[in-house]
Structure 1
């Protein structure tokens, strides 16, 4: 294994590059609500959402491939599905389950014992419930200590989501904040970290229909996360995941990790904004 991890970003996959997948530019991804393509995603069973995946990686990829691209690769922005495709690609490239590969090259070296595609059954008591906002308030989406993520998945979830802890999340963020170094030793190529954390999306791609209204106001996209392109927090690398996870890394090395287990929606955005503001004020104090 090399001392640093430096993937080839221009590897082509039928005209779609790894760079396209990292920057949500593949042409696959979340579509504007009510559009015919959004309905087609729903009918094909590949609509994005906070619920666990419900089909194996190969079947998911085949279903996705039946749908047209929203735009030519590199010519637009559609969030979400590129990361699932990357998981399948990484597994095929490695020749071993993506869970095992990530464990070998990322989780174990960084000291992230609790990050995985599932929670071992003997650790199920540590898994909190997951919620979403419904008509009557918070509704349980995944039970305490149970649900899809407990025990090995019943099918290949290379396209799925990870479970983790605040401590593990912080270790990953700390490595990025330290320019790719972990406990003083090289881990990621510093040039790659700089590329990850700068805006990679051209202005022509930042259209109102590419994501939710106002998203591009002072925001760009790097590799796998958003980048503040102006304002008080210029250079901040961050993202808020669908199940209410939120992190940011500021250029000065400041890190915030906030895990809510509540599906993102209109009720949650003000909460995340308040947490970010309070974290900043605590540091200033």
Structure 2
């Protein structure tokens, strides 16, 4: 694909391809300072009767993670918990964690953890729970079967207390702090936030982030009045030319509140809502009208790489060798046209991506409806990142 002259051209070109891996529609936003470019292309569902709009609502999947990390930092600023604090004071299920002897060991070949799991471990995905590059390891199976980790399925996951009880029976894959593992730490973090705040996670996020930032379309379920703006969710059809297959319709799993509000990937939102969150990060924690959501120091910690070189190498399947801050990746070197040192954000398995670039004051958000086929980002995201990097 040739370099697009504008964001609308970029989206139109990908939607027009019409291949089995193409999304029915997409909405994108790129902003730098007062310059904001928004494009919407295609349709909200495969039937094609509802055009995609700027305010269309999407399943965010893993670009939920930076938002939940920011919520955890509000608790730190309130003095309720510190990054170095062991989380077992609020999550007693993790008071005596066991660790498989080696990552390849069976789940019953375990040793005791050498130290407690801390808040910092959860924020940086180094608590010992989650996914490595090898999905065949025995200790990973319970994450799928008991915790329902993987593609979001909000109505299938047990309530937080039952989920934590199940987690307590699953050994860690690494000793706390030793290795980076994907996903599960963000769900644990969501439970921790609710217990430290003594409020359900949806209510706490609404109070401390969504309401101050004006993120009126963001939550763990779509309000009935917004269902007409909610998009379908698809995966690529099987080989042989079939089109995308519907995973979840607008009146499906996100049309009612879940028992388990997933800090890893449960939110729905719009491009403008995530843009408001991104602008807050660029403004050192301030809203557009000058209210403080986070301190500048908290934002700095979020967007700083916390991994060792070995941990970056271990995470390469997911991060392509980049670093990891709190709840999102951090570019540490230029390895592709879209890599900008200091760029912070992430991608979502439902076909979403969002980043901020502090050095240029850029926010970039792309929301599609197509499930990712694996950790590698699809071409539309890579083209979008390149466009945003040169904005």
| TM-score normalised by L of structure 1 | 0.89
Alignment pair present for 1:34 and 2:149: no
State the Cα RMSD in Å.
2.1
Aligned with residue 258 of structure 1, among 361, 366, 375? 366
Q: Which residue of 2 aligns with 1:77?
A: 180
Aligned with residue 215 of structure 1, among 320, 323, 337? 320
Distance 2:262 2:345 in 1: 23
Map Cα deviations across residues 111-164 of structure 1 (whole Å, 9 max, x no partner). Answer: 111111111223211111011123134111111x211111333x2435561111
Distance 2:162 2:316 in 1: 26
Distance 2:261 2:301 in 1: 28
Q: Which residue of 2 aligns with 1:235?
A: 342
Alignment of 1:76-95 (within 5 A): 76-95=179-198
Q: Which residue of 2 aligns with 1:51?
A: 153
Aligned with residue 355 of structure 2, among 248, 252, 255? 248
**1:81, CA displacement in angstroms?**
0.7
Distance 2:323 2:141 in 1: 28
Considering only CA atoms, is the larger Rg found in Structure 1 or Structure 2?
Answer: 2
Relative distance call for 1:25 and 1:268 in structure 2 (3 A) is closer
Aligned with residue 255 of structure 2, among 110, 132, 150? 150
Q: Which residue of 1 aligns with 2:45?
A: none
DSSP 3-state at the match of 1:240: strand
Q: Which residue of 1 aligns with 2:53?
A: none
Q: Which residue of 1 aligns with 2:304?
A: 198
Bigger relative contact order, structure 1 or 2 (CA pairs below 8 A, ≥6 apart) = 2
**1:185, CA displacement in angstroms?**
3.6
Structure 1 unaligned regions, length at least 5: none
DSSP 3-state at the match of 2:369: coil
Relative distance call for 1:42 and 1:182 in structure 2 (3 A) is closer
Q: Which residue of 1 aligns with 2:103?
A: none
Q: Check the 8 A contact 1:50/1:263 in 2, yes or no.
A: no
Q: Check the 8 A contact 1:20/1:74 in 2, yes or no.
A: yes
DSSP 3-state at the match of 2:188: helix
Relative distance call for 1:235 and 1:269 in structure 2 (3 A) is same
Q: Which residue of 1 aligns with 2:85?
A: 11
Map Cα deviations across residues 54-87 of structure 1 (whole Å, 9 max, x no partner). Answer: 1222222222221110101111011101111111
Q: How many pairs are equivalent?
A: 274
Q: Check the 8 A contact 1:30/1:48 in 2, yes or no.
A: no
Structure 2 unaligned regions, length at least 5: 1-72, 77-81, 88-94, 96-115
Relative distance call for 1:190 and 1:268 in structure 2 (3 A) is closer
Q: Check the 8 A contact 1:97/1:158 in 2, yes or no.
A: no
Q: Check the 8 A contact 1:57/1:158 in 2, yes or no.
A: no
